[in-house]
């Protein structure tokens, strides 16, 4: 019997949900969050405009009793649920919004008017009314097939984005999800039309439940948890999704804890630290500042031979580039990232190194942009911010466990 290699592992320990996506026992993504601390990410609200802040081109909205969020006025016009003022927002207006970023330190949660309903293969967008197909789907015939299928379900009130996961999936499975998303849209709008301000219309399940849906198709064999409560949530969430028929949801009952079996403590400690050792003997140093994250590549204990110096440095940099892309994803590092590779004189080697880094970053589900290499041989790149970095997640959980 073939062992299942790609797993989403979820363990509960001392009031903290520890979870991650593991390939061959090595984590590619790691998360942790207090069980009682709920994220607002993905929630959809009928929000009331508290006040407009023209100076920062934004507005502050009320989404619940004592709950507020920030809305940028630079985006597309939101769906208004209150009459009048169609082309401009005023205090007291009721609009449909979705949380895109959780609160961070003193900053409020951030929301958007471009509400979306996510599936494994498609996304319904309520203000971007078009059909879009993931750029990662490159075959012309497949793009045409998916475009044709999506057009059967288009509507003047929403658009459809075809996700990378849809490539190669049977039409009946794709059609089933389109019908489910269409029903979700109709139910959402039914609630929205009668909602008063500060009303929660849709609550996104916890991320440890929905993460399996976001992972690439055929990249997940099993979801494993040692929590009976979470196991039942997973069963309920995935039971109606035929695309998960081949993925087993397993309740782990062994006496040796799942937390220890997958070495969560070790990997959290490693991700919390700033030094990463490479197989060659070189190392990475990851430093976080207010403005950016800086990653330095050091030769460490690698023996430098004059005649082979350029080749040696190139090989170390290639090894470092692969690990940097993995660490960025693992630690959920976002914003501006500066990488100080070992200096190389050969321009072709520099080009190849940048191309390698770009290719490695394409494995990331979060959008990364490798900008360029500066005159000082520093590589500039950015990564979109969606969730808290792992460093911050660990800090929050450790404080909670101490209290």
Question: Cβ neighbours of residue 30 under 8 Å, at least 6 residues apart?
Answer: 19, 20, 264, 267, 268, 271, 330, 331, 390
Q: How many alpha carbons lie under 13 Å from residue 230 in its C-beta half-sphere? A: 26
Distance CA 328, CA 337 (A): 9
Residue 42 pLDDT:
87
Pick from 94, 26, 45: which is nearest to 326 by CA?
Answer: 26
The CA-based angle 379-380-382, given to 5 degrees, is 140
| pLDDT tens track for 148-181 | 999 998 888 889 999 888 888 888 889 988 998 9
Residue 332 pLDDT:
92
Low-confidence ranges of the chain (pLDDT < 70): 1-4, 37, 85-86, 105, 217, 240-246, 300-310, 400-403
Question: Cβ neighbours of residue 361 under 8 Å, at least 6 residues apart?
Answer: 325, 328, 368, 370, 381
Residue 307 pLDDT:
46
Residue 245 pLDDT:
62
The CA-based angle 367-320-325, given to 5 degrees, is 15
Distance CA 387, CA 63 (A): 20
- In sign, the C-alpha dihedral spanning 217, 386, 105, 370 is positive
Residue 310 pLDDT:
66
Q: How far is CA 98 from CA 115, 305, 343, in A?
A: 5, 57, 45
Residue 64 pLDDT:
86
Tallying the residues shown for the chain, one arrives at: 403
pTM of model > 0.85: no
| Placement of tokens 């849809």 in the chain | 166
- In sign, the C-alpha dihedral spanning 91, 93, 97, 103 is positive
Contact 324, 357 (CB under 8 A): yes
CATH for 40-203, among 3.40.50.2000, 2.60.40.2220, 2.40.50.140, 3.40.1350.10? 2.40.50.140
Domain ranges of the chain: 6-37+206-264, 40-203, 274-383
Residue 1 pLDDT:
34
Residue 376 pLDDT:
81
Q: How many alpha carbons lie under 13 Å from residue 132 in its C-beta half-sphere? A: 13
Distance CA 272, CA 14 (A): 19
Residue 27 pLDDT:
92
| pLDDT tens track for 299-324 | 866 655 444 566 788 899 999 999 99
Query: In the CATH hierarchy, which fold is given to the domain comprising 6-37+206-264?
Result: Nucleotidyltransferase; domain 5 (3.30.420)
The 3-class SS string of 54-115 reads HHHCEEEEEEECCEEEEEECCCCCCEECCCCCCCCCCCCCEEEEEEEECCECCECCEEECCC
Contact 282, 319 (CB under 8 A): yes
């Amino acid at each position: 019997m073939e062992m299942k290699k790609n797993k989403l592992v979820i363990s509960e320990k001392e009031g903290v949900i520890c979870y991650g996506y593991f390939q061959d026992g090595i984590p590619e993504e790691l998360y942790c969050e207090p069980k009682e601390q709920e994220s607002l990410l993905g929630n959809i609200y009928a929000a009331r405009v508290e006040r407009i802040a023209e100076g920062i081109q934004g507005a502050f909205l009320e989404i619940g009793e004592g709950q507020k969020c920030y809305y940028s006025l630079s985006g597309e016009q939101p769906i208004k649920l209150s009459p009048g003022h169609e082309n401009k927002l005023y205090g007291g207006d009721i609009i449909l919004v979705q949380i895109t970023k959780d609160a961070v330190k003193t900053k409020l949660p951030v929301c958007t008017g471009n509400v979306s309903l996510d599936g494994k293969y498609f996304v319904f967008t309520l203000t971007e009314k078009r059909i879009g197909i993931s750029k990662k789907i490159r075959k012309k015939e497949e793009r045409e097939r998916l475009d044709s299928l999506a057009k059967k379900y288009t509507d003047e009130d929403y658009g459809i984005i075809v996700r990378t996961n849809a490539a190669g999936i049977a039409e009946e499975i794709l059609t089933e999800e389109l019908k489910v998303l269409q029903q979700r849209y109709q139910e959402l709008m039914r609630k929205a039309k009668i909602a008063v301000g500060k009303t929660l219309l849709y609550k996104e399940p916890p991320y440890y439940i929905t993460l399996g849906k976001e992972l690439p198709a055929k990249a997940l064999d099993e979801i494993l948890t040692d929590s009976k409560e979470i196991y039942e949530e997973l069963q309920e969430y995935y039971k109606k999704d035929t695309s998960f028929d081949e993925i087993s949801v397993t309740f782990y009952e062994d006496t040796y804890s799942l937390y220890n079996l997958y070495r969560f403590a070790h990997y959290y400690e490693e991700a919390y630290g700033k030094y990463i050792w490479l197989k060659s003997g070189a190392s990475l140093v990851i430093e976080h500042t207010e403005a950016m994250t800086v990653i330095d590549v050091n030769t460490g204990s690698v023996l430098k031979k004059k005649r082979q110096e350029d080749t040696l440095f190139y090989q170390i940099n290639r090894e470092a580039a692969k690990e940097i892309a993995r660490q960025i994803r693992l630690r959920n590092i976002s914003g501006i990232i500066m990488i100080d590779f070992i200096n190389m004189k050969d321009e072709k080697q520099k080009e190849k190194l940048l191309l390698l880094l770009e290719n490695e970053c394409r494995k990331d589900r979060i959008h990364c942009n490798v900008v360029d290499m500066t005159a000082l041989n520093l590589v500039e790149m950015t990564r979109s911010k969606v969730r808290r970095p792992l460093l911050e997640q660990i800090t929050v959980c450790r404080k909670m466990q101490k209290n």
